[in-house]
A and B are shown apart, each in its own frame.
Chain A
Amino acid sequence: AQTVTQSQPEMSVQEAETVTLSCTYDTSENNYYLFWYKQPPSRQMILVIRQEAYKQQNATENRFSVNFQKAAKSFSLKISDSQLGDTAMYFCAFRSNNAGNMLTFGGGTRLMVKP
């Protein structure tokens, strides 16, 4: 079974600064998908960014980018030019390309952006 670990329960960053959230996972598969979801206080999970394991190029979405290290099974999220609206819980998630229909989530990192 796959596991996803987020080792930082809480993080804080000053507005306009850059912050990196860590995620590691464990799998024996070679092809899979990785996701970062944001959960603001409204509880609604929103997809931030997605990475396909067979793609070597790191995914980027505006101020959000990932550092995908397949051999190390690491998938960190970098938020540049942090904004107050980035304050939320961030969850890293794994989805197998072979078996299982669910997303496997890490425990989350609570990010506070300070003015």
Chain B
Amino acid sequence: GAGVSQSPSNKVTEKGKDVELRCDPISGHTALYWYRQSLGQGLEFLIYFQGNSAPDKSGLPSDRFSAERTGGSVSTLTIQRTQQEDSAVYLCASSPSGAGHRGETQYFGPGTRLLVL
């Protein structure tokens, strides 16, 4: 079946603009994660959604970052007033169950490469 998809693939924006990044998880997956990968570095956790529970926002770096998940499926990560340090690849992942099955595989999308000029 279809994997995790993300759009856009690449995004170039000017400093101070808002951007929205979209993630379509695998159908039926209840858990959804956002990570950020800065150039040449590992992945940094941003936010986690599990079903209808309140999201785990503990990884969001500032209040300029927010995310929502509508209908338990598609998620949008919004960055307001973008800064140059926000330039990175933003990766989305989904898994079937989430916290109840911590050893399960997280399936990743191809990411959105964001460049803030």
Query: Footprint of B on A, CB under 8 Å?
Result: 4, 6, 33, 37, 42-47, 50, 52, 91, 93, 95-97, 100-108
Contact = CB atoms under 8 A, between A and B. Distances in A.
B77 interface: no
Interface of B: 3, 31, 33, 35, 40-45, 48, 50, 56, 58-59, 89, 91, 93, 98-99, 102-103, 105-106, 108-111, 113
Contacts of A95: 102-103
A107 B42 contact: yes
Nearest to B3: A44
Given A43-B111, A95-B103, A97-B102, A102 B91 contact: no
A43 B89 contact: yes
B108 to A, nearest CB: 4
A47 to B, nearest CB: 5
A103 to B, nearest CB: 6
B73 to A, nearest CB: 18
13 contacts: A4-B42, A43-B91, A44-B108, A44-B109, A44-B110, A45-B91, A46-B108, A50-B105, A93-B43, A95-B103, A96-B102, A102-B45, A103-B45
Contacts of A6: 42
B42 A101 contact: no
B108 A45 contact: yes
B41 A107 contact: yes
Given A43-B89, A43-B111, A45-B93, A104 B45 contact: yes
B21 to A, nearest CB: 14
Scoring A37, A43, A107 by chain B CB atoms within 10 A of each residue's CB, the highest score goes to A43
Nearest to B31: A101
The 8 closest A-B CB pairs, nearest first, are A102-B45, A45-B108, A105-B42, A101-B48, A105-B43, A33-B103, A107-B42, A43-B111
B23 to A, nearest CB: 13
A101 B110 contact: no
Scoring A45, A50, A96 by chain B CB atoms within 10 A of each residue's CB, the highest score goes to A45
B96 to A, nearest CB: 13
